[in-house]
Amino acid sequence: MASEKELIERTARKFAARAKPDLRIGIGDDAAVIRPRKGYEMVVTTDAFLEGVHFSIGVHSPAEIGYKALARATSDVAAMGARPLYFFVNLALPDSRTGKWFDSFLAGMSRAAHRFELVLAGGDTTKRPQVAINISVIGAVLPGRAILRSGARPGDLLCVSGRLGEADLGLRVIQLGWDKRTKWKRLLRKQFYPEPRLELGQWLAEKKIASAMIDTSDGLSTDLGHICEASGVGARVWAAKIPKVKIPNQLGLDALRLALDGGEDYELLFTVPRRLAGRLPKTISGVPITVIGEITRERKILLVDEQGRTTQLRNQGWDPFRSRTTRKQG
Amino acid sequence: MASEKELIERTARKFAARAKPDLRIGIGDDAAVIRPRKGYEMVVTTDAFLEGVHFSIGVHSPAEIGYKALARATSDVAAMGARPLYFFVNLALPDSRTGKWFDSFLAGMSRAAHRFELVLAGGDTTKRPQVAINISVIGAVLPGRAILRSGARPGDLLCVSGRLGEADLGLRVIQLGWDKRTKWKRLLRKQFYPEPRLELGQWLAEKKIASAMIDTSDGLSTDLGHICEASGVGARVWAAKIPKVKIPNQLGLDALRLALDGGEDYELLFTVPRRLAGRLPKTISGVPITVIGEITRERKILLVDEQGRTTQLRNQGWDPFRSRTTRKQG
Contact B30 A149 (CB under 8 A): yes
Mean pLDDT is lowest, of A237-251, B280-294, B307-321, for B307-321
Contact B2 A321 (CB under 8 A): yes
C-alpha dist (Å) from residue B13 to B17, B89, B119, B159, B190: 8, 14, 12, 41, 29
| Among B residues 239-278, those touching chain A with beta carbons less than 8 Å apart | none
Structure confidence at residue A182 as a pLDDT band (50, 70, 90): confident
Q: Which of A80, A127, A321 sits opposite B33 (nearest CB)?
A: A80
In degrees, to the nearest 5, what angle opens at C-alpha A281 toward C-alphas A275 and A287?
A: 135
The count of residues in chain B is 330
Q: Is the pTM of this model over 0.95?
A: no
Q: State the pLDDT at residue A189.
A: 92
Q: Which of A29, A30, A127 sits opposite B321 (nearest CB)?
A: A127
Q: State the pLDDT at residue B268.
A: 98
Rg (CA), chain A: 20
Mean pLDDT is lowest, of A46-55, A100-109, A319-328, B63-72, for A319-328
Residue that wins the pLDDT comparison between A279 and B2: A279
**Cβ–Cβ contact A77 with B under 8 A:** yes
pLDDT digits (tens, 9 = 90+) for B26-83: 888 999 999 988 899 999 999 999 999 899 998 899 999 999 999 999 999 999 999 9
Q: Which residues contact A172 (CB under 8 A, 6 or more apart)?
A: A251, A253, A258
**Cβ–Cβ contact A319 with B under 8 A:** yes
Q: Which of A3, A44, A150 sits opposite B121 (nearest CB)?
A: A44
- Structural domains of chain A in order of their starting residue, each with its CATH number: 4-141 (3.30.1330.10), 149-312 (3.90.650.10)
Q: Which of A76, A134, A138 sits opposite B90 (nearest CB)?
A: A134
Encode A10-33: b = buried (16+ Cβ within 10 Å), e = exposed: ebeebbeeeeeebbbbbbbbbbbb
Indicate the average pLDDT of chain A.
91
Task: Give me the phi and psi of A119, to 5 degrees please.
Answer: -110, 130
Could you give the angle at which helices B4-14 and B100-116 cross, rounded to 10 degrees?
40
Contact A329 B215 (CB under 8 A): no
Residues of B in contact with A132 (CB under 8 A): 48, 50, 92, 132
Could you give the angle at which helices B198-207 and B62-78 cross, rounded to 10 degrees?
10
Contact B139, B80 (CB under 8 A): yes
Phi-psi region of A166 (alpha: psi -120 to 50; beta: other; left: phi over 0): alpha
Residues of A in contact with B330 (CB under 8 A): 124
Between strands A32-34 and A83-93, the pairing is unpaired
Q: Which residues contact B77 (CB under 8 A, 6 or more apart)?
A: A30, A31, B43, B45, B83, B84, B137, B139, B196, B198, B201
Question: Is the pLDDT score of A140 beyond 50?
Answer: yes
Q: What is the DSSP letter of A37?
A: P
Residues of B in contact with A268 (CB under 8 A): none
Question: Is the pLDDT score of B327 beyond 60?
Answer: no
Q: Which of B2, B134, B214 sits opposite A48 (nearest CB)?
A: B134
Indicate the average pLDDT of chain B.
91
Residue that wins the pLDDT comparison between A237 and B180: A237
CA-based nearest residue in chain A for residue B45: A31
Question: Is the pLDDT score of A121 beyond 70?
Answer: yes
Q: State the pLDDT at residue A5.
A: 79
Contact A32 B52 (CB under 8 A): no
Q: State the pLDDT at residue B26.
A: 86
Residue that wins the pLDDT comparison between B3 and A300: A300
Phi-psi region of A25 (alpha: psi -120 to 50; beta: other; left: phi over 0): beta
Q: Is B290 exposed, middle or buried (0-12, 13-18, 19+ CB in 10 A)?
A: middle
Mean pLDDT is lowest, of B194-208, B249-263, B313-327, for B313-327
Contact B53 A126 (CB under 8 A): yes
C-alpha dist (Å) from residue B37 to A188, A256, B85, B107, B172: 44, 47, 10, 29, 43
| Among B residues 201-230, those touching chain A with beta carbons less than 8 Å apart | 213-215, 230
Query: What would the DSSP string read from start to end of B219-241?
Result: -HHHHHHHHHHHHT-EEEEEGGG
Q: State the pLDDT at residue A330.
A: 36
- Interface probe, candidates A7, A25, A29, chain B, greatest B C-beta count within 10 A: A29
Q: What is the DSSP letter of A128?
A: -
**Cβ–Cβ contact A42 with B under 8 A:** yes
What percentage of chain B has pLDDT greater than the value 90?
75
pLDDT digits (tens, 9 = 90+) for A230-268: 999 999 999 999 999 999 988 899 999 999 999 999 999
Residues of B in contact with A205 (CB under 8 A): none
Q: State the pLDDT at residue A165.
A: 96
**Cβ–Cβ contact B117 with A under 8 A:** no
How many beta-carbon contacts under 8 Å exist across A and B?
A: 218
Residues of A in contact with B33 (CB under 8 A): 41-43, 80, 141, 146
**How many whole angstroms separate alpha carbon B103 and alpha carbon A213?**
32
Q: Which helix or strand (DSSP H or E) is residue A119 part of?
A: strand A119-127
Contact A46 B124 (CB under 8 A): yes
Encode B205-234: b = buried (16+ Cβ within 10 Å), e = exposed: beeebbbbbbbbbbbbbbbbbbbbbbbebb
Encode A172-201: b = buried (16+ Cβ within 10 Å), e = exposed: bbbeeebbeeeebeebbebbbbbbbbbebb
The closest alpha carbon to B94, from B46, B57, B135, belongs to B57
The closest alpha carbon to B311, from B260, B258, B236, B251, belongs to B236
Q: Which of A92, A121, A149 sits opposite B29 (nearest CB)?
A: A149
Q: State the pLDDT at residue A328.
A: 39
Nearest CA distance, B130 vs chain A (angstrom): 10
Q: Which of A4, A53, A92 sits opposite B319 (nearest CB)?
A: A4
Residue A111 CB-half CA count within 13 A: 17
Contact A321 B32 (CB under 8 A): no
pLDDT digits (tens, 9 = 90+) for B228-268: 999 999 999 999 999 999 999 888 999 999 999 999 999 99
**Cβ–Cβ contact B315 with A under 8 A:** no
Question: Is the pLDDT score of B166 beyond 70?
Answer: yes
Nearest CA distance, A34 vs chain B (angstrom): 5
Nearest CA distance, A246 vs chain B (angstrom): 29
**How many whole angstroms separate alpha carbon A114 and alpha carbon B215?**
33
Q: State the pLDDT at residue B319.
A: 65
